[in-house]
Amino acid sequence: AALRTFFPLIKRILLCTFSGDKMVSCNHTLNHFFERVFPVFSLCLDLIPPGACNLLNSSAIYANNEVNLAEVDIYGFDYDYTLALYSNALNTMIYNAAKGFLIEHFRYPEGILKYDYIPNFAVRGLHYDIQKGLLMKIDAFHYIQPGTVYRGLNPLPDEEVLELYGGTYHVPLEQDSGFYGKGPKVKQFMDIFSIPEMTLLAVANDFFITNDIEYDPVHLFKDVSEAIGMVHLKGYMYKWVVQDLDKYILRGEETHAVLHKLVSSGKKLFLITNSPFSFVDKGMTHMVGEKWRDFFDVVIVQADKPHFFTDCIKPFRRLDTKGDLCWEKIKSLDKGQIYKQGNLFDFLRLTGWRGSKVLYFGDHLYSDLADLMLRHGWRTAAIVPELEHETKMVSTGRYALNLTWLQALTGLMERLQTHRDPESQQVFLEWQKEREELRIMTKNLFNPQFGSIFRTCHNPTYFSRRLCRFSDIYMTSLSCLLNYDLSYTFYPRRTPLQHEAPLWMDQLCTGCMKTPFLEEMSHIR
């Protein structure tokens, strides 16, 4: 309505900047927009349901499978990026330390030092072709998304990508990452900690390419991977976090509120983490208090996941009050004690905690959740901090308009393609170009290089497929539990299949609007 009212004024202002033939051309273009394009554009606005841009909230919990919390008696947790959420400053520190190791330990050129950390370059869930040195996004059907293949810090033209992969965007299953994300030729980066690793890989590749230095991409991948590993093995990350807990740990008061709520409701809690006890103790004391162990019935550190879930050999070891190993045989897992290593089979035998009455929270889909869901029937919950940014983008009017217009344009192309006359074919090509521009615009709303971690152009990403397969529910952080009663049932939204009719009312009555935000959250955020 505003555009219709002010169109004459807007046109006069724009025409003042032109003269002669340019003024005539501009006047024609503006009139064409108002007479032809604007009615269709207005129709797209009318298609967007009322309130569609306000449906999503980053504090909601989303369901892939029906979960009734009333049936859950035992809650389990990972530590890093689950109980403890870290600030982006930690990624910068990991990147800089690993970059230093590349130069000092692996004798890489000092020119790499000039590359500072790029905070928003990579996103979680990307694949890396080890032999070709390419970072890319792959969809649920093993197809590379055009425009998201990077060699170093620069995108590869689609034509070159097709040539490198034999005329197709498809990555064969035998080359793709295996069950735990590690294949012979392609690795998937599922861990949030892997974001600085992907950035360092891109930077190192970029240095050799721009300086025309011959190198082996396989050696580079292994060296970067080992340099990142050294940051963790040498305890640098633990040292940084412990020295400045306020800087690196986020939302500690929310973690305390979640644990208090669960214990007050009579739930049993346990912790299984790969981190050492001294590190966990400092972080939990900072977030929850010195008596944080009173919340947990079982605490297991340095568990060596995912092998903890598949290996039935390693026994549990108890740690004394000083953190030293004890030698007695573990016949029970007792509250107030700290255990190291062990395996899930002994854990199940000693606790009797089995099946859908157990809900385990973790951030890594493979190491934390996959085996528990597929082999043991536990309920699983994925912590996906990226949801906060993604839901904010999806909730904007700009995204809703782009997506609605994109879908409308795709529908028009689907019908027009049957007309073979030259004029129709010319219009089809123009629409095809516009559709591609809309796709790029929509992608750039999330991340200019790789777009959303959940979608390619129209398909779910490989990451999204694994998220749906290995997690019953997923959320931004543990604090989302504070919005729900512990007898609440999460119902997955019935999304239409390709051969089913999409119903706006079905979308409005279910899904995102189901969140019953509770008053208990108001004093925390």
Strand partners, 455: 460
Q: What share of the chain is helix, strand, coil (3-state, %, to 5)?
A: 50, 15, 40
Active site residue 80: yes
End-to-end Cα distance, the chain: 38
Q: Which helix (H) or strand (E) holds 393?
A: helix 387-394
CA distance 150 to 152: 6
Task: Pick the catalytic residue from 46, 78, 129, 176.
Answer: 78
Among the listed residues 21, 46, 73, 80, the single catalytic one is: 80
Looking at the DSSP bridge assignments, the partners of residue 359 are 75, 379
346 is in an annotated binding site: no
Closest CA to 520 of 264, 215, 137: 264
Distances (CA, A) of 56 to 53, 321, 428, 502: 7, 46, 34, 19
Residue type, 391: T
Coil, strand, or helix at residue 325?
Answer: strand
- CA–CA distances in Å: residue 46 to residues 37, 381, 503, 509: 14, 37, 16, 19
- Coil, helix or strand at residue 212: coil
The DSSP 8-state label assigned to residue 80 in this structure reads B
Residues written for the chain: 525
Is 216 annotated as a binding-site member?
A: no
Q: How many CB atoms lie within 10 A of CB 497?
A: 8
- The annotation status of 21 as a binding-site residue, yes or no, is no
**CA dist 492 to 30, 198, 314, 392, Å?**
46, 33, 38, 21
> Which segments are annotated as binding site for Mg(2+)?
78, 363
Active-site annotation, residues: 78, 80
> Which segments are annotated as binding site for GMP?
80
> Which segments are annotated as binding site?
78, 80, 363
